[in-house]
Amino acid sequence: MRLVLLGPPGAGKGTQATRIVDRFCIPQLSTGDMLREAVASGTASGLRVKHIMDLGELVPDDVVVSVVANRIDHSDAANGFILDGFPRTVTQAEALDQELTARGIKLDAVLELEVDETALLDRIRGRAEEAASKGEPVRRDDNSEVFKTRLDVYRAQTAPVTEYYRSQGLLNIVDGLQSIDAVSEQLTAALAALPCHQIRSDVR
Ligand code: AMP
């Protein structure tokens, strides 16, 4: 099953993607994680994108598209994947369609977590405080100022991706303000309505 998970920063995409990974045995392809790994390993491309990420802005489309295009060719993604944090622009969505078409495959569904902005700001403050209280590193882009930039970027550049997929009939929107379990159940129900797939109902 080939999926895209959309939603603003802090909407719970990572949490829900992990559940979908467990249930459907497909890898989570998070462009944020891949880019953070590139930064941590100090590669030339990592160093180029670090500053952009620290500011909460978007890495250039061609960089992210090539990262994703390479990753979907790995053997663990042969039977499907869930893209988390990609596409974030309509240009990326179009490029993804081209990459998939070139491989003779297509998306099965797009899942979007809808959450209002005030709730997101509360959540992200909570996420930073929780990490700090556990002595865990706080993401540099999880402070309030950068987070506001990330929301602005989302509104301006990523929100149009919703319409792109709606017009393709792929979009399923779920209220991301519900409990984690309730969101997870609704996402699973949306996927269950798709033809031709197996659900491992023993895993939550
Ligand atoms: P995330 O972990 O998904 O919130 O991503 C963290 C940061 O990585 C974002 O704020 C961007 O700077 C960068 N990034 C992740 N995915 C993309 C993407 N699809 N396009 C452009 N930049 C991205």
User: CB-based burial of residue 29 (10 Å sphere; 0-12 exposed, 13-18 middle, 19+ buried)?
Assistant: buried
Task: Give 123-182 as a DSSP string.
Answer: HHHHHHHHHHHTTPPPPGGGSHHHHHHHHHHIIIIIHHHHHHHHHTT-EEEEETTS-HHH
User: Which residues belong to the active site?
Assistant: 13, 88, 127, 140, 150
- Note the pLDDT of residue 198: 46
CA distance 141 to 133: 18
Task: Compute, in angstroms, the gap from residue 31 CA to the centroid of ligand 1.
Answer: 6
In this predicted structure, the answer to whether residue 20 has a pLDDT above a threshold of 80 is yes
pLDDT range class, residue 118, cuts 50, 70, 90: confident
Protein residue with its CA nearest to atom 12 in ligand 1? 53
Q: Name which residue leads in pLDDT, 203 or 152.
A: 152
Task: Compute, in angstroms, the gap from residue 77 CA to the centroid of ligand 1.
Answer: 20
pLDDT range class, residue 196, cuts 50, 70, 90: low
Task: Compute, in angstroms, the gap from residue 56 CA to the centroid of ligand 1.
Answer: 8
CB 29 within 8 A of CB 132: no
Answer yes or no: is the C-beta of 23 below 6 A from any ligand 1 atom.
no
pLDDT one-digit tens code per residue, 49-81: 999 999 999 999 999 999 999 999 999 999 999
What is the best residue among 31, 92, 127 to mutate for testing ligand 1's pocket, by most ligand atoms within 8 Å of CB? 31
Protein residue with its CA nearest to atom 2 in ligand 1? 32
Torsion of CA 7, 58, 27, 98, to 10 degrees: 100
CB 191 within 8 A of CB 197: yes
pLDDT range class, residue 44, cuts 50, 70, 90: confident
The three-state secondary structure class of 110 is strand
DSSP 179: -
Residue pointed to by tokens 């100090």: 42
* Closest ligand 1 atom, residue 33 Cα: 2
Single-letter amino acid, residue 200: R
Q: What is the mean pLDDT of residues 80-97?
A: 97
* Closest ligand 1 atom, residue 92 Cα: 19
Residues 6+ apart with CB under 8 A from 22: 203, 204
Enter the tokens of residue 121: 């700001």
In this predicted structure, the answer to whether residue 202 has a pLDDT above a threshold of 80 is no
pLDDT range class, residue 167, cuts 50, 70, 90: very high
In this predicted structure, the answer to whether residue 36 has a pLDDT above a threshold of 70 is yes
pLDDT range class, residue 101, cuts 50, 70, 90: very high
DSSP 82: E
- Note the pLDDT of residue 200: 46
Residues 6+ apart with CB under 8 A from 183: 12, 16, 113, 174, 175, 176
DSSP 98: H
CA distance 28 to 81: 6
CA distance 8 to 151: 7
